[in-house]
Structure 1
Amino acid sequence: MIENIQKRDGRIIAFVPEKITRAIYLAASAVAKEDGTEADYEQAERLTDQVTGYLNSVYHNTTPTVEQVQDAVVRVLIETNHTRTSEAYIIYRSERSRIRNLRTRLMKSIEEITYSDAEDSDMKRDNANIDGNTAMGTMLQYGSAVSKEFCLSQVINPKYARMHEAGDIHIHDLDFMNMGTLTCCQIDLDKLFHGGFSTGHGFLREPQDISSYAALAAIAIQSNQNDQHGGQSIPAFDYYLAKGVAKTFRKRYNHNLQIAVKLLLNSDKNIKEDLENIEKQTGKLPSLDMDYDYADALKAYLKSTFAIDDAMVEKITTYTYNEAREETDKATYQAMEGFIHNLNTMHSRAGAQVPFSSINFGTDTSIEGRILMKNLLLVQEAGLGNGETPIFPILIFKVKEGVNYNPQDPNYDLFQLAIRVSAKRLFPNFVFVDAPFNLQYYDPNDFKSEIATMGCRTRVISNVNGENTPVGRGNNSFTTINLPRLGIKHGVVGEKGFFDRSAFFQELDEELETVISQLLERAMIQGNKKVKNFPFLMGQGVWIDSEKLDWNDTLEEMVKQGTLSIGFIGLAECLVALIGEHHGESEEAQELGLEIIGYMRTKCDEACKKYGQNFGVIATPAEGLSGRFTRIDRKKYGNIRGVTDRDYYTNSNHVPVYYPISAQEKIAIEAPYHELTNAGHIAYVELDGDPVKNLAAFERVVRHMKESGIGYGSINHPVDRDTVCGFSGVIDGHICPKCGRDESTSSIKFDRIRRITGYLVGTLDRFNDGKKAEEKDRVKHNV
């Protein structure tokens, strides 16, 4: 009689037939459920007796392994005509094996996180915004590793888990799946600031000056970051914070008017109540444009109250206005300085990283809005305390004809300043309101209709469930399809040896259907969460319409306001695999590329109508994913020239970074994809040298983006800094041009700031291996 069995790790344990009975019963239950019947536990026991009898006859002189016992179960089930039960048992057995592998992988991940230095571990540099060597960074990675494996083994459909593990798809932010968090949000500061808000640790009153507006804007970003796994953006920073500038001017104006009365008229009269009465009578406040009604009423008051002539009235009001405006300008600069410094130093997510933050601005033509934008850009240009380039927030300048694009436009000077600052500090990026797919939503009388983007490229504006606006909305989740693998399987340089068009699009269609189902599954998890699970995002009404819910209400309808996005990576490598060349090399490849992404867009549009959800296509920002798919595919298919022969796949629909091409040609090729990728996109151009020395060329690139129909674009260029002498600019080689320090002979290295995605810049040592390789391969685009 068999008394023991051997485990997979070599341990000998007692043989327990009841475990076989339970496994057979579970398999039979799965079959019975399909038939609408119930499984028979006693029959499972009888089958177990047959399995035990078989084992005793075969292994009476030895100890069978777990695998041999499971093989015996399958044999008996088939021999007794329980074919469907045997199939269910095999699936059960396979799933148990997969879960064991997940546990093994988890332990290896924990070991790497614990004992490896970030410099030697790609895993610890998966997110360049996290310092993997710090205690809190390590703790965050522990939690991430455990949560990923739990979601793969216990939460999501095993089919989706297998496709993710195999590298057919990539489920982004998988570690946040079970938490039900949404990805990102465009925060409506007007709504949040009106009457004040709570962070959960205390109530903050409505701000009353620009410094408070700026401080609370940073706090709002930080607080919301703790409820979401993606980034935070402010869609109309200029319009929102212009109110703070106006309040500051009113305070400074009234204060300086009281001083002027005292100094110029030698009067100690307290005029506070009188000024408030003038405001009530006219319905106006002191403002930077000094409204005609208020100004006239004020002058009449001064003249009659203090018995002074018109010349003295004019002297007092001129002095007061000039002093107040100068003080407001200085206060705004200091407020913007505090805002940017805060977002580069304040931490979220248990102190492991600064918030992913973006701000959109550029179209407010009021005096207050212009003062705000001017000082925001000047602070960005100045850099941080020691002259460092700010990493966050991502500044995004909205370009619009009639507002800031042409010399006669009211904000043209700010567009010029934005170009100068971007040439020095990498930001602002530029979003183009006039792109047809953005302009269709634009209402010149409603700034909430203006396109706003997350710095990473995520775009949300159309809405099948409500208002077409980015405000108070964001992406819920997204999953990326491995396009190069499909190319390898059906292309001229892959398994087929020729382009099998029909098979390619058939499998692409099947994967799109799978990803749509997977995103709907995730949306169901998100919708089953409650307001109390997201006390700031939902509890403070940041997400659109969430103020209508009670604390214990679920979020089924709320999450429908967001987007479900299907991403793609490596279109260039896919095209090479399919027809032997990418879209930078031939018109044929470009046409095929547009056909592929157009097919994805059509599928998403159909899903919008079918499911009543905002499905869209996103040109995946490939920070952590850039090397993962490539490693898996190289192992599976070998080293394929132009496809798997580098350590990364090309970012979304971009022309490969190593391909020599002019800036204008690159923009022209990538622009048509922006209309198709309605959930997000970005175009990069790589410039050499110091663009500050050639602002005209820099501006030509921005203008060419706009005229070509680009939706969102940025210009990459080197930003280097010697931390010893403070030089900031371009350092060719290893010698500082300012002090002559030789980096190669010093332990203190230069900071070399590079952009790796639309939202993330940093020093090269924080990039994972795939992004390091990609950055190294980048060629410069001539203008």
Structure 2
Amino acid sequence: MTKVTKRDGTVVDFNKQKIIDALLKAMIRTEIGIDTNIAENIAKQVITNIKDREKVDIENIQDEVVTALMSSKRKDVAVEYIGHREVRSLKRRERSCLDKKVQGLLYLTDTEVMSENSNKDSQTIPTQRDLLAGIMAKDFAQAYMIPKRVVKAHNNGDIHQHDQDYSPYFPSFNCMLIDLREMLENGFKLGNAQIETPKSITTAAAVTAQIIAQVSSHIYGGNTINEIDKVLAPYVTKSFIKHFRTGMEWLYNADFKYIQSLEISVDSLELASRFPRCYDYAMRLTEKETVDAFQSLEYEINTLVSANGQTPFSTFGFGRGTTWEERQIQKAILKNRIRGLGKEGKTPVFPKLIFALEDGVNLKPEDINYDIKKLAIKCSTLRMYPDILSVPKVKEVTGSFKNPMGCRSFLGQYIENEKEIHNGRFNMGVTTINLPRLAIKANGSESEFYELLDEMLDVCKEALMYRIERLKGVKAKVAPILYMEGATGARLQAEDTIDHLLDNDRSSISLGYIGVHETVLSLFGNHIFDDLVLRQKGINIVKYLSNKAAQWKAETGYGFSLYSTPAESLCYRFCKLDEEQFGVIKGITDKGYYTNSFHLDVNKKTSPFEKIIFEKDYPQYASGGFISYCEFDALVNNPEALEAVWDFAYERVPYFGTNTPVDKCLECGFEGEFEATVMGFKCPNCENRNPKTSSVIRRCCGYLSEPSQRPFNKGKQNEVVSRVKHK
């Protein structure tokens, strides 16, 4: 008698009648109905195929049933049988792994789920609802949507198919540059309201906050207002005109017709000389209104919660504008950030601020905006932001100047109708490859590493093409704010597809990577920083990935790019899976995290200048996403040192951030840097660990977070503890 191993591990005698009963139940659900002879014959055929086996799994028996049905005249029964089998499989999965995750979330015991994103407060109902929906969506996507080879590679830890809780279940994309100028100039519909062009900077800022909230609820990554100082400058002008007219009425008793006949502008020397009191009045009120408008905008962003339960991940890029209006916006952004939030002056996490450095604009003392550079330096010493962009290096690496989308994702150059376009473009998603795992498998063989890399890159391409296919054919009506109201620069009709927004580099699709440091260490047994030959080996790996992305781009016509994955939770996930499979390997799996993309190992003691030089050659190959940053002691009393580092970075890397101590204890008044431990953060003065009476700010990846309120995952916390200062 053949024995059957059931799914729970128990062993029972084979029972022919159970096959017949299952077939009859499937037949009932068909149009033709029951045929007992066919059910009997199928059961006999299965017996014939397994009769020589002493033991067989239940899955093997069901496979035999399906094979027999497909070769019979009742393929309609096979469809019902397979469908019922899949439903049962899904229910079992829900009762096991899925049920465990759901309970872990509801009872706040699954720390991995709760801390996967430090921008999400997993204690709140909106976030828990989003996480719960994400668990279910990811499970369904893996079972029925994502290609099986991709699912297997993801679950094994060979690759990471990002954001499966949103994509592919929903036809959503990653991050974008919002076309704010188009929306404000041409108007748009938001909910039930038709929004016209704003008449002041106050209204423009308020509308901007609502646009950011709406966009954030329709995508799963970050959004950026590219060169916000230039985009919103016209509304500062409108406020000036409004205040000047009021001044004319009250200070000069001018009548309405005369006021309306004046050509009013900020740079009018005639107005300034003819009506000096009114001109000064309008200038002062406009400056105050601009500061107030951006204070409101900052508060709104930090109090908004998008549909996915998190603060909108927003970035403001600015710095190149040189008109009075553009300068006022730059100053307003920086002054408000320096002031901080609330009576305690806490450091805001969002919006991320990026200041563009450009020779002839703000780099040197003789430049028109040098004073704003000095203000930006002061802000960075107090609040970590702004990060900086080197305008010439960004152009060199990406083909044109633009800000990153959210954290670090960059678009390439795109020209349409002989016009260069940046705003409105987006990234369709990321798949990241686990480089250290391939190196471990290669066991010191560089040639074997590249063979394994090619195999896994083929899986990555399939994963990325699936992301594209999921967006093709999508109709504009699924996200009106994006496709019908101008956020992507498009004004499509409800039934139009978005396909043309995906083609020819208009949008990007990214291959990500992690752990160049651990990869080189595993392959060659030495630290990459200490050997010029090994430094080149690391660059060669990234260059190889870049060439592969370029090859895919040429083959498909889609905007494939190489992206230096931030790896907030992935630094932990990959390392944990590899430790489980390969054991504890010194310097690789023993730390609890993998190093972010191409970065220097966080515990390497070196100067900021050496770190910048070490990382400077990578962005040209990883042009789809990159950032470099250094760790410093407090620089509040030494802004000249920060300026020296900024100027050094300007010549060498396109995108640079500064990490300085900005923590605050509300119990003892300490300001500086809390001690980072594996259990969290504590005040070095009074040992306060209470998140309600402390403000701890750390750079998670490319953006800041507040881990005292929303803790990092275990791996990221280990990485933070390991960080050393660059002196």
Relative to the length of structure 2, the TM-score reads 0.88
After TM superposition, the structure 1 = structure 2 runs for residues 728-747 of structure 1, keeping only pairs within 5 Å, are 728-730=671-673, 742-744=686-688
Q: Deviation per CA, 1:734-766: give whole Å up to 9, x if none.
A: 9xxxx9973449896532211111123213452
Alpha-carbon distance change, 45 to 517 in structure 1, aligned in 2, over 3 angstroms: farther
Quote how far apart the aligned CAs of 1:461 are. 2.9
Q: 1:608-635: CA deviations, max 9, x gaps?
A: 1110010000000011211000010001
**Is the 2:315–2:353 Cα contact (8 Å) retained in structure 1?**
yes
Q: How far apart are the structure 2 equivalents of 1:672 and 1:93?
A: 53
Q: 2 CA distance for matches of 1:49 and 1:458?
A: 59
Aligned partners of 2:390 and 2:651 also within 8 Å: no
Q: Give the C-alpha shift of residue 768 in structure 1.
A: 1.0
CA contact (8 A) 1:743 1:750 kept: no
Q: Matched residues in 1 for 2:407 and 2:179: separation?
A: 19
Q: CA deviation at 1:468?
A: 4.6
**Is 2:264 the partner of 1:320?**
no
Cα offsets for 1:68-112 (capped at 9, x unmatched): 7459769999xxxxxxxxxxx99x999997995576321111111
The residue identity in structure 2 corresponding to 1:362 is G
The one of 447, 463, 474 aligned to 2:426: 474
Letter of the structure 1 residue corresponding to residue 698 of structure 2? R
What SS is found at the alignment partner of 1:435? helix
Distance 1:455 1:733, change over 3 A: closer
1:452 touches 1:470 (CA, 8 Å); kept in 2? no
Give 3-state SS (helix, strand or coil) of 1:766's partner. coil
2:499 is aligned to 556
What amino acid maps onto 2:150 in structure 1? Y
User: Computing the radius of gyration over CA atoms, which structure comes out larger, 1 or 2?
Assistant: 1
The one-letter code of the counterpart of 2:410 is R
Equivalent pairs, count? 693
Question: Is 1:198 paired with 2:189?
Answer: yes
Q: Which residue number corresponds to residue 123 of structure 1?
A: 113
Aligned residue for 1:641, secondary structure, equals coil
Unaligned residue ranges in structure 2 (runs of 5+): 27-35, 70-80, 678-682
1:503-534 deviations in Å (ceiling 9; x for gaps): 22122122222212221111111122210111
- CA 484–741 in structure 1, closer or farther in 2 if over 3 Å, else same: closer
SS of the residue 2:353 aligns to: strand
Distance 1:93 1:583, change over 3 A: farther
Superposition deviation, residue 554 in structure 1 = 1.7
Please give the secondary structure, in 2, of the residue aligned with 1:174. coil
- Give matches, 1:262-341, under 5 Å: 262=253, 270-279=254-263, 286-290=264-268, 295=270, 314=273, 317-341=275-299
- Do structure 1's residue 630 and structure 2's residue 575 form an aligned pair? yes
- Would you say the 8 A contact 1:464–1:608 is kept in 2? no
- Cα drift, residue 6 of structure 1: 5.7
1:140 is matched with 130
Q: 1:534-576 deviations in whole A, cap 9, x for unaligned? A: 11111212113x21x3201222221222101000001100010
Residue identity (%): 32
- AA aligned to 1:563 is S
The answer (yes or no) to whether the contact 2:698–2:706 under 8 Å persists in 1 is yes
Amino acid at match of 1:416: K
Does the 8 A contact of 1:464 with 1:614 survive in 2?
no
Give the deviation of 1:491 after TM superposition.
3.6
Judge conservation of contact 1:223–1:536 (CA < 8 Å) in 2: yes
Structure 2 Cα separation of the partners of residues 504 and 330 of structure 1: 60
Q: Which amino acid aligns with 1:479?
A: T
CA contact (8 A) 2:432 2:513 kept: yes
**How has the CA–CA distance of structure 1 residues 276 and 10 changed in structure 2, closer, same or farther, with 3 Å as cutoff?**
farther
Q: 1:218 aligns with which of 209, 216, 234?
A: 209
Q: Is contact 2:244-2:278 (8 Å) kept?
A: yes
Distance 1:180 1:103 in 2: 28
**Letter paired with 2:495:** N
Are residue 515 (structure 1) and residue 460 (structure 2) matched?
yes
* Contact preservation (8 Å) 1:465, 1:612: no
| 2:440 matches 1:488 | yes
Give the drift of 1:186.
0.5
- The equivalent of 1:377 in structure 2 is 334
Q: Kindly indicate whether residue 571 of structure 2 is the aligned counterpart of residue 614 of structure 1.
A: no
Match of 2:470 in 1: 525
| Secondary structure in structure 2 of the residue aligned to 1:344 | helix
Q: How does 1:745-756 map to 2 (within 5 A)?
A: 749-756=693-700
> Is contact 1:2–1:15 with CA below 8 Å preserved after alignment?
no
Equivalent position of 1:497 in the other structure = none
Is 1:404 the counterpart of 2:382? The answer is no
Distance 1:364 1:747 in 2: 39
Q: Partners in 1 of 2:241 and 2:131 — Cα distance?
A: 49
- Is contact 1:437–1:675 with CA below 8 Å preserved after alignment? no
Q: Which amino acid aligns with 1:648?
A: Y
Q: Which runs of 5+ in 1 are unaligned?
A: 24-40, 78-88, 263-269, 280-285, 300-313, 443-449, 493-499
Once the two structures are superposed, residues 709-731 of structure 1 have per-residue CA deviations (whole angstroms, 9 ceiling, x without a partner) of x1111011221112246664446
The secondary structure found in structure 2 opposite 1:15 is: helix
Alignment partners' CA distance in 1, 2:428 and 2:706:
26
Q: Which AA in structure 2 matches 1:235?
A: N
Return the alpha-carbon distance in structure 2 between the equivalents of residues 103 and 254 of structure 1.
69
Given that residues 19 and 43 in structure 2 are in contact (C-alpha distance below 8 angstroms), is that contact kept between their aligned partners in structure 1? no
| SS, match of residue 619 in structure 2 | helix
Q: In the alignment, residue 419 of structure 1 is paired with which amino acid?
A: I
Deviation at 1:591, TM superposition (A): 0.5
Which of 391, 395, 402 is residue 433 of structure 1 equivalent to?
391
Structure 2 counterpart SS, 1:381:
helix
- Identify if the C-alpha distance between structure 1 residues 21 and 666 changes in structure 2 by more than 3 Å, giving closer, same or farther: farther
State the alpha-carbon separation in 2 of the partners of residues 616 and 672 from structure 1. 16
Match of 1:233 in 2: 224
Matched ranges for 1:21-170 at <5 A: 46-52=41-47, 66-67=58-59, 69-70=61-62, 101=93, 104-117=96-109, 121-170=111-160
Distance 1:96 1:328, change over 3 A: same
* Structure 1 CA distance for aligned equivalents of residues 9 and 190 of structure 2: 50
Rate the CA distance shift 1:364–1:42 in 2: closer, same or farther, 3 A: farther
Q: Deviations over 1:88-142 (max 9, x none)?
A: x99x99999799557632111111111125xx61210101111111122211110
Contact 2:346 2:695 in 1 (8 A): no
* Structure 2 SS opposite 1:536: helix
The alpha carbon displacement at 1:3 in A equals 14
* Alpha-carbon spacing, 1:513–1:741, altered in 2? closer, same or farther (3 Å): closer
Contact 2:3 2:56 in 1 (8 A): no
Deviation at 1:658, TM superposition (A): 1.1
* Structure 1 Cα separation of the partners of residues 85 and 522 of structure 2: 36
Displacement of 1:662 in angstroms is: 1.4
Tell me the distance in 1 between the aligned counterparts of 2:307 and 2:509: 24
| Structure 1 residue 48, shift from structure 2 partner | 3.3
Q: Tell me how far apart the structure 2 counterparts of residues 158 and 609 of structure 1 sit (CA, whole Å).
A: 26
Instruction: Kindly indicate whether residue 265 of structure 2 is the aligned counterpart of residue 344 of structure 1.
Output: no
Distance 1:238 1:438, change over 3 A: farther
- State the match for 1:17 in structure 2: 20
Structure-1 residue corresponding to 2:650: 706
1:159, distance to aligned residue in structure 2 (A): 0.5
Residue aligning to 1:84: none
| Gap change, CA 1:707 and 1:556, over 3 Å in 2 | same
Counterpart AA for 2:655: Y
Distance 1:732 1:75 in 2: 63
CA distance in 1, matches of 2:87, 2:526: 40
Change (3 A) 1:465 1:577: farther
Match of 1:658, as an amino acid?
A: N
Give the deviation of 1:338 after TM superposition. 0.4
SS for the counterpart of 1:391 is coil
Q: Secondary structure at the match of 1:675?
A: coil
What is the distance in 1 between the residues matched to 2:569 and 2:589? Answer: 17
- Supply the AA of the counterpart residue of 1:721: K
Q: Distance in 1 between matches of 2:579 and 2:676?
A: 34
C-alpha contact 1:5 1:15 (8 A) present in aligned 2: no
* Distance change (3 Å), C-alpha of 1:463 and 1:10: farther
Cα RMSD over matched residues? 3.4
Q: Judging changes above 3 Å, is the alpha-carbon distance between structure 1 residues 577 and 557 closer, same or farther for their aligned structure 2 residues?
A: same
Q: In the alignment, which residue of structure 2 is the partner of 1:248? A: 239
1:186 to 169, 172, 177: 177
